[in-house]
Amino acid sequence: MLTSLFRVYLWVRAFRAPQPAGQASAPGVPSEPAR
Amino acid sequence: MNAALTFAQALIWFWLEAVLITRFLRGDWRRFPLVFTYVVADFLVAAAETPTIWAITFRSTQAARSWGARVYERGEVFLEFFTFVLVISLISRACAGFRSRRLMQAACVAGAVLFAGISFQAHYDSRIVPGLWMAPWTRDLNLGASILDLALWTLLMEQRKKDQRLLLLSGALGIQFAGAAIGHSLRSMATHYHAWPSMLGGRW
């Protein structure tokens, strides 16, 4: 049971929610506002 | 105390499974359909087993124990075979570019069927209750699954471009197989010696 719990936890980590659109990783979007 | 610990573990497990299913439903189930099906099947089997576990914990009658054993045995056998299918499908995915992919698939399937069959022949005994021969059999199945998982891990590590998600999936499966093999070993030892390992058996 404990190892099954740990397996599910690691799988939850593996399928982490993707970053919301419009964040720094989106192509063409600067990570900091232009000065 | 034992019941409270089991309840707390089950609560966290069901919550994490629900989070995992929700994340799959955002779109990843299309990339990993078999992993998603396994997660849902695991959730349903655990949901079916929960009432029987509580019945045995709070009202340990002969009928409750027999019902619980039947549900547990069927669920366990189903999940063990599904696990083998899952690991073999992940191996097949990991060696997608290999020329010998078909040969590797066939070797994995044949090896798994042979291993499970030989172990079943070695442990099955119609004169004893299924739980007594199932514990060493499922221990062997978990050992076989962990060997296949090791092969999968080796294949993934050899790839130039590492698939972090597949590495995490197979690593987590390996931990579960090792823990389950230890747990079933302790359970089968406990039936021989009627000793403390039975308390630990279910915790792994």
Span B31-69, pLDDT tens digits:
999 999 999 999 999 999 888 888 887 777 888 888 888
User: Do the beta carbons of residue B61 and residue B133 sit within 8 Å?
Assistant: no
pTM of the model: 0.81
Residue of B2, B6, B20, B72 to mutate, testing the A interface (most A Cβ within 10 Å of its Cβ): B20
ipTM: 0.82
Nearest residue of B to residue A11, measured between CA atoms: B169
Nearest residue of A to residue B32, measured between CA atoms: A15
Q: Are residues A2 and B204, on separate chains, in Cβ contact within 8 Å?
A: yes
pLDDT band at residue B192 under the 50/70/90 scheme: low
Which segment, B10-19, B69-78, B176-185, is predicted with the most confidence on average? B10-19
Mean pLDDT along residues B11-36: 93
pLDDT band at residue A8 under the 50/70/90 scheme: very high
Residue of A5, A6, A7 to mutate, testing the B interface (most B Cβ within 10 Å of its Cβ): A7
SS3 assignment, position B73 = helix
Q: How far apart are CA B35 and CA A20, in angstroms?
A: 24
Scanning B59-159, the segments in alpha helix (DSSP H) are 62-94, 101-123, 130-158
Question: Which residues in chain B are contacts of A6 at CB distance < 8 A?
Answer: 172, 175-176, 179
- Dihedral of CA B158/B161/B167/B169: which sign? negative
pLDDT band at residue B134 under the 50/70/90 scheme: confident
Neighbours of B175 (CB within 10 A): 17
- Is the Cβ of A8 closer than 8 Å to some Cβ of chain B? yes
Nearest residue of A to residue B11, measured between CA atoms: A5
Give whole-number Cα distances, B111 to A18, B101, B103, B108, in Å.
38, 15, 12, 5
